[in-house]
Each structure stands twice: as structure tokens, then as C-alpha cells.
Amino acid sequence: MDCDILIIGAGPAGLSAAVYAARAGFKTMMLEKIGAGGQMMLTDKIDNYPGFPEGIAGFDLQNKMLFHAKKFGAKLHYGEAAKIEKTHEGFSIALTDGKIMNASSVIIATGASHRPLGVPGEVEFANKGVSYCGTCDGPFFRGKKTIVVGGGDSALTEALFIAKFAKEVTIVHRRDRFRAVHSLVKQIEMIPIIKTKMNATVEEFCGAESVTGVILKDTVTGEKTNFATDGVFIFTGLIPATNFVPAELLDGQRYIITNEKMGTAIPGLYAAGDARSGAFRQVICAASDGAVAANYAGEWLEAKHGNAYKN
Ligand code: NAP
């Protein structure tokens, strides 16, 4: 066995699970595709994580969580899960690089990634005016005209960040009401350079070397107009990173179904955070899920094998 508890994904859910699992004495390993932190790394400021009343940068919170998990002995391995199988002893996880990892118990905390708009020009203009990360790309649009697509918490949070650099930010939303929480709606209303275009969708991206505009469609009248812009930031929701998870564990939107112990239908296999069905997608909730999953993964291991697993 490579470890007692393998945690796939090192965002807030995975990092929190690692803190709890390693601190409880289990040989704990995190498997991470790119870098720890998950979507937190794309967030300029998290201002609703208890204990940080002034807010904390996603990057800083990630650093603290990773340091914390490593302090208790959790290890970080870089790689991407391609398939997970139950074995007699536990679980076998095939990685995309061909490596196989074996673990007695597994917590899936792979989170979710951005949902593309799926309109002409989006792929061609990726990184040439089309972005999915305000924190990463906002500073490139200093003094420029920008559009933010979407009406959820991400769209409004990112619009506030991009407005620190851009000359103008126009939020394009397909309905007449934002999905985002009231406090964010109030904040954007107070920034004069943030405008809104409600009942509108982006139908196409226009430009040559980079984006110079979009075609907007009024969802009420059907009228199409050209709208000049230097950049478009897309925040139209999330797709769970569950491609490697057996289909029978997923709901209709491919999120992992769990019970209150974060257990899936396969004993010893747990899920935590944004990849989980019904999750309230907040950093604090992901961290809570991770703690719960690690606790019950530990209980399950001890019930199955006794205390032999403890370091
Ligand atoms: P979301 O809440 O699912 O919002 C997605 C937005 O994109 C919605 O306004 C939706 O419109 C719109 N949309 C979806 N598909 C579209 C399409 N094809 N064309 C145009 N618009 C489209 O996603 P999110 O904002 O990324 O947030 C995800 C989760 O993370 C949420 O649970 C959110 O609360 C959480 N989050 C929290 C914070 C925070 O607490 N500070 C920050 C960011 C995210 P409709 O409204 O019409 O469906």
C-alpha cells in the first residue's frame, strides 16, 4: 500500500482532509494534478472564511492549509487520476502517466472546473481576450474595456476585482436578476465603472489577433448587437472533475453522491467538496467536508483493520 488514506485533489476539501487524516496518525497522501489550492488559487480575496475578517488571498489560505497538512506528515504527489478500482485490500488508482497507486481508503476531493460558454470564437480566442480567471488575467486589462459573463457569485466577485484595473466592466447576464448573493449585488452597484446588461447572452466572439468585440443577443426581443470589448471573462458555473469516478456513484450532473459521512456507495471511498452532489460550494464547506470524510475514512479503516494502521 502507498498509504492508508489517499486524497485525490488538494483544494480546501483535500487539504482539510489531509490535516485531519495525518493528524489522526494515518499515512496520508494527496494526489494533485497541477498545484494545491484548487479554485481558491483563482480567488483574489476570500472574505467569508471565519477568522479572517479583513479577508485573505486564496493563494495565502492555500499556503497555510498546505503547510498545516504537511506539518502533520501528509505527503503531496503530483499526478492525475484516470481510473479508480476497488481491490480486495482497498483501492487501486491508475494515473494518466501509467503509474498505479494503492491505498486502503480514498477521499475524492477533485472539485470542479469552469464551464465554457460553447459559442463560436471561444476556443480560438482563449488567452487572446477570453479568460476564465479574473485574478490571473485581470491585471492584463488595465485601462481596457471588459465584459464579465454570468450572474453568480463568481461573476460578481471577479467583476469587482477586474474593476480595479479595467476602464469599464460590463456584466452580461442572461436573466433579469442576478443569482449572486445580495451583498455582492450591492457592492457592484456602488462601482460606477461596473455596468450591467441584463437579459443578454454572448452569441459569438469577434476579432482577429485578439478579441475586439462580441455579438450580444437580447433574450427578450431576440435583437442582436455588436458590442466592442478588449476582453471577456466567463463565469458560467462549474463542471465537476469526476471523469475517473465510476458512473454508478454520480448524480445526473456527474457530481458524486454521498451520505452524511461523506461516504459513497462503495465502502472505504469518500468524497468531499465541490465534486460532491448537493454541496454548498464555499471554501469553508469544502474544508468541513474534508474533515468529515477524513474522520469517517479513519473510523472505517480502524473498524476493518484495528489500530494497526496508525503510525
Ligand atoms: P453559478 O452559481 O452556477 O452561476 C453561474 C452563472 O452563470 C449563473 O448566473 C447562470 O445563469 C450563468 N450561466 C450558466 N450557463 C450560462 C450560459 N450558457 N450562458 C450564459 N450564462 C450562463 O456558478 P458560480 O458563480 O461559478 O458559483 C459556483 C459556486 O461557488 C456557487 O455555489 C457559489 O455560491 C460559489 N461561490 C462562492 C463565492 C463566495 O462565497 N465568495 C464566490 C464564488 C463562487 P442563471 O442565473 O440564469 O442560471
Reported residue count of the chain is 311
Q: Known catalytic residue: 285? A: no
Which atom of ligand 1 approaches the CA of 279 most closely? 32
* 86, β-bridge pairs: 91
* 126, β-bridge pairs: 130
Q: Known catalytic residue: 60? A: no
Ligand 1 centroid–CA 133 distance in Å is 14
Which of 179, 220, 274, when mutated, tests ligand 1's pocket best, judged by the most ligand atoms within 8 Å of its CB? 179
Q: Known catalytic residue: 3? A: no
Q: Between β-strands 91-95 and 100-108, what pairing exists: parallel, antiparallel or unpaired?
A: antiparallel
**Residue 308: predicted pLDDT:** 61
- Splitting the chain (311 residues) into consecutive groups of 10 residues, what average pLDDT does each group show? 96 98 98 87 83 92 96 97 95 97 98 94 94 89 98 95 97 98 97 98 97 98 98 96 97 97 98 94 94 98 77 54
Ligand 1 centroid–CA 86 distance in Å is 34
Name the active-site residue from 4, 44, 137, 230: 137
Q: Is the CB of 281 under 6 A from ligand 1?
A: yes
**Residue 267: predicted pLDDT:** 96
Q: DSSP states of 217-259 as a string?
A: EETTT--EEEEE-SEEEE---EEE--TTS-GGGB-TTSPBP--
CA–CA distance, 288 with 285 (Å, rounded to integer) = 5
Which atom of ligand 1 approaches the CA of 115 most closely? 15
Q: Is the CB of 154 under 6 A from ligand 1?
A: yes
Helix (H, G, I), strand (E, B) or coil at 133: coil
**Residue 40: predicted pLDDT:** 84
Name the active-site residue from 133, 153, 218, 285: 133
The model's pTM: 0.82
